[in-house]
Amino acid sequence: MKKNIQTISITSGKGGVGKTTLVSNLSYCLAEQGARVLILDGDLGMANVDIMFGKRARQSIANLIAGEAGLEDVLVELTPRISLIPGGSGVYGLHNLDYVAKTALMDQVSQLEDDFDVMLIDTAPGISDNVLYLNSAAQECVVVVTPDPSSLTDAYALIKVLHKRHFENRFSIVCNLVRDEQEALTVYRRLSDVTSQFLCVSLNLKGYVPLDPTLRKATKLQQLICQAEPRSPSSLAMGSIAKSLCDFKYLYEAKGGLQFFWKQLSGVA
């Protein structure tokens, strides 16, 4: 059976909860564990994964869609094992492409299938159609929450629309910016209490990342905490989340693979 790329979106109801931090550091950890990682930066307003790696993307999917560039021109090599597709607002132009253009794009995408093991998708926060498309196209959806009450209500709103409109019924949860494990469990239980009361979905706590001043410092210096301070509490936490993310049984699931992801996203039947 052909191996498929595992596609995982990192998403949230509310902004500033640590999505880009997680996408970048988890990618780093997965690469350290031997995976070849593709990142899709799908945040409209704040496409900044490249900056986390100290690079600057010059083109994006928008150039690809406009026919000004091929996928290989748009792709940015962040490290030898991590590449980035700068998406930005371009990602959402996919839906408006005609059939021929979509098929041509699929051909290009399928060539990447053999080059990577996992794709992490950094989404914008909220419940706009764009965010919903990215999340529903991905095989696994990781919702990031923090102890901030509005982060919980916004996460619930996101899970609810993904379930009602896109029939998603399985979500992974990561609690970020928590004091300790106890607080992570409290946050997780609050969310799972409301979802189990009102929705028929299953939540799975993937892990938590403590509030770590060293992380903030590293980000300011444009360093990845997992690389700069691998023994810091947040690095250790993200390392263990990365281990539990790459569950290779998913590689053979029907919803896997890059082609499936892009077909869902662009609406090719």
- For residues 255 and 258, give the distance between their C-alpha atoms in angstroms, rounded to a whole number: 9
Q: Which is nearer to Mg ion, 124 or 251 (CB)?
A: 124
Paired residues of 8 in beta bridges: 120, 140
* Distance (Å, whole) CA 222 – CA 225: 9
Q: Which of ligand ADP, Mg ion, none is residue 212 near (CB under 5 to 8 Å by kind)?
A: ligand ADP
Q: Smallest distance, Å, CB 162 to ligand ADP?
A: 17
Question: From the list ligand ADP, Mg ion, none, which binds 211 (C-beta under 5 to 8 Å, kind-based)?
Answer: ligand ADP
Name the residue with the smallest CB distance to Mg ion.
20
If one asks whether residue 60 binds Mg ion (CB under 5 A), the answer comes out as: no
For residues 158 and 152, give the distance between their C-alpha atoms in angstroms, rounded to a whole number. 10
Q: What are phi and psi of 158, to 5 degrees?
A: -65, -45
Alpha carbons within 13 angstroms on the beta-carbon side of residue 72 total: 5
Q: 17 or 245: whose CB is closer to ligand ADP?
A: 17
Stretch that binds Mg ion, among 43-51, 66-74, 96-104, 128-136 (CB under 5 A): 43-51
What residue has token string 């083109």? 59
Cα 245 to Cα 142: distance, rounded to the nearest angstrom: 10
Interacting stretch for Mg ion, rule CB under 5 A, among 38-46, 97-105, 139-147, 231-239? 38-46
Nearer to Mg ion, 19 or 102 (CB): 19
Of the candidates 98, 82, 99, 94, the one whose C-alpha atom is nearest the C-alpha of residue 23 is 82
For the bound state, the minimum distance from the C-beta of residue 230 to ligand ADP, rounded and expressed in Å, comes to 15
- Which residues bind to ligand ADP, rule: CB under 6 A? 12, 15-21, 176-177, 209, 211-212, 215-216, 219, 234
Binding string to Mg ion for residues 2 to 21, with x set by CB under 5 A, is what? Answer: -----------------xx-
Quote the least distance from Cβ 198 to ligand ADP, whole Å: 25
> How many helices and strands (H and E) does the chain possess?
12, 8
Residue type, 57: A
- Residue matched to tokens 């490249």: 50
d(CA 104, CA 251): 24
Which of ligand ADP, Mg ion, none interacts with 205 (beta carbon under 5 to 8 A by kind)? none
Residue 15's binding partner out of Mg ion, ligand ADP, none, with CB under 5 to 8 Å set by partner kind: ligand ADP
Smallest separation (angstroms) from Mg ion to the CB of 109: 23
Q: How many residues bind Mg ion (CB under 5 A)?
A: 3
Phi-psi region of 261 (alpha: psi -120 to 50; beta: other; left: phi over 0): alpha
| Binding residues for Mg ion (CB under 5 A) | 19-20, 46
